[in-house]
Structure 1
């Protein structure tokens, strides 16, 4: 009996580019901003495309709103990622070692800074710092397992 099989592998696409800002801290920060900003903008583009398909029409006003939303989300998430990457790299340089504690401290500092920029409530800033540190540490541990 004839058989056929399909043999292939699935790999994550890798898009890598380098922007030299003249200092490693700036290079890491800009890289984080651009990569995560692009992911956020892509997410909005897919959501907006879904809504257009569901609605069955596209208007120039709707397209303009979608583009503004893409830029806003991309800039926001890119800024948060840039701050985190810069903080983690800074912690690594200050501490002189590369480990999970840098992620924890960078995440806590980022959570506090983002929270402080958006609110003046001291307790919320502390809670967001704890959340940022916990999320960054969890991601670091998950990356270690894979």
Structure 2
């Protein structure tokens, strides 16, 4: 029986914004903040557009609400990303090597700090640190596959 295959590739455009703060730690942190914050803003913009289309009307109040939500989500996720990138870079500098363990340490520290800042206590902070470390490590391993 004859077989056919379809193969192709999909690549996304690479956008780099260089912000020179005079320090590699600050450069990476600001870069992470801006990139992930922009993704969060775009996510909320698409969600809010969906709700406007579903409702069938847009009002000044809805527009202001959407804009505030975009700013809030962008700032939150940008801050988390900046914190993670900074923690990972710090782990790399302290350990003197660049490997997946830095992602694990950076993710765990970020998870714990964000959890503690959210007024969580004890076991919840530990669980969030474990989740942060696991997610960051998985993302690092996945980046090796591409």
TM bucket (normalised to shorter chain) is over 0.9
Distance 1:9 1:133 in 2: 30
Q: Report the counterpart of residue 68 of structure 1 in structure 2.
A: 68
Distance 2:141 2:134 in 1: 11
Distance 1:100 1:9 in 2: 26
Give the gaps of 5 or more residues in structure 2. 1-7
Task: List, as ranges, runs of 4+ consecutive aligned residues in structure 1 with deviation greater than 6 Å.
Answer: none
Q: Report the counterpart of residue 3 of structure 1 in structure 2.
A: none
- Compute the displacement of 1:134 (Å): 0.4
Alignment of 1:1-146 (within 5 A): 10-146=10-146
TM-score, reference length from structure 2: 0.92
Give the gaps of 5 or more residues in structure 1. 1-7
Distance 1:78 1:121 in 2: 24
CA 1:87–1:55: 2 relative to 1, 3 Å: same
- Compute the displacement of 1:53 (Å): 0.7
Distance 1:54 1:48 in 2: 10
Aligned CA RMSD, in angstroms, stands at 1.1
Distance 1:61 1:23 in 2: 42
Aligned length: 139
